Structure 1
């Protein structure tokens, strides 16, 4: 009997090993099942997998919506209404896609600020961080282009305002704007170009996401302690999977609440008015997830200065691994850094609020001060604390 059990076990093991030798199964096993994960990671590490779920939702709903959408200035708005009213389940697809973009940004912003708090951008994960920032930039571009497609009032005027910023670039600015528009104004050529790009970019984001995951798995995940964990690790499945599953269920409830009870809460009511080039809205505002960057843009009175400020935002994020080189990663062990970090979070929320206010006193001044602190944090505070805080800790321990 013992020999029979041993023979069955050996046969099962050989079968498993032969399956894992197949390239596809081997990749899945190495990166999703037996991937070594630090034992002490918390629920905050689940936002990466949630971002992947959001991307799948956006691609799937986007493909089905594209089957019924008509990228023409005379028909785009009507085709969206046709999807909502006449297509079976169309209202669900449209609301899932529109609110899914907001959910995607909520998850990614949590993922970003978690990485900032625990120092996940530090060596040897510079490439992982840089790819993550590139993904955020691609998401912003894709979401902006998608916001134009319903061809409502905010869609049209948002496209007009944002694309015209390129005209501030010396020498070639106006040529870039003409190329973006496909003519001398935002019109049918613009809508066609934006639709094509909006369909293509999510697949580029998916490819970049795979590169981001590959770079992450090259050196392993960070952990709440911020130290290199090379010994105390467990398999991703079932331990970390079960922890992520809790986050997926909470996210599903949160998403469903918006989807079924407040599907228009995060949108702008003016976008239910067909685009009218002859009627400018009283107050042009982008979607909520653009508001902090939009507030920084508006804080600079010069158009070129505003464009450079936006570029500087992403330059600061890209350069963060080299700006902040503290040997102590996690803010849990850096009390000064932790307090200033929460000032940064409050500053970003303040910028989001300023972005939806009219351009008038005192909002302009508040936006300028908040923008100044944002850049001061990345360009002055982060490098300075990386140099001073470890010495302060040593000095304190000696005393």
Structure 2
């Protein structure tokens, strides 16, 4: 049995966390030694709870590797252990690195190009949605990969923005890959894979998702990133946990400022005061890195709009200035009648120059 499979078997023991397994390996010397422990050896282990010892005694001689691997195969899930050469190098030195990773898609993209994590509220404002979608798209256009957590709100916007560009997006789940949460994002997960991206989790098939999974997930998001952008976050947002973890790991932290009267700006403003870089556009991010290796060939809006009518150009400029507008607001700001605005908006949608957001609002794509 190779090391990867030994990790897989031991990981399936009930109640054995990554931290506990790490302590166990440190005490006995190697993961291979664990499966050869006698019952007496197990009960003599130090710093291991009685419950874990009992589970080790119960399951260590009853591993059914074929059954465990069959479940992974049925769900098209691959796995890798921390001792494999292919294991992401960025994760090896974080606190409590995952000893096993389960994934779908191209694992190698973690080591390709720059990886920027983007996190924020699950219930963002239209402003936050626009910022997340635009920044992730513009970074992706420079072949920069975007990492997020496949949650509703900002996470989803970041993944979708990246898919529209040249980069690849990586989703780190707090659930197992056979039980994507939220289930409404299963379609998005498939789109990520179809685009050549990656879906990643430290949880095996059948794992029950708990609230504790989410902060654990965040350490992986920050761990595989080269920097973290917080788009919108309340004072107690989980996005700030990701930023704190990234700070501990030596990553660059960026924050998008917002409305001073909005609760969803308080988290971003807090970390800006504490030293996060105030981020108005992607140049604020790229300036922190050696950008010479990235593709700066933009799909500039000037190129795409050169054959548009003056009224269409006027609508684009108004939306760019305001960030996001409804049809009636476009009419008010441009003086163009609603019939022509509807016609022009439909043309801009077809050409992917604008995107329709929530509540029939339109933003620059």
TM (normalized to structure 2)? 0.29
Q: Which structure shows the bigger proportion of residues in strand conformation?
A: 2
Relative CO higher for 1 or 2, CA cutoff 8 Å, sep ≥ 6?
A: 1
TM (normalized to structure 1)? 0.27
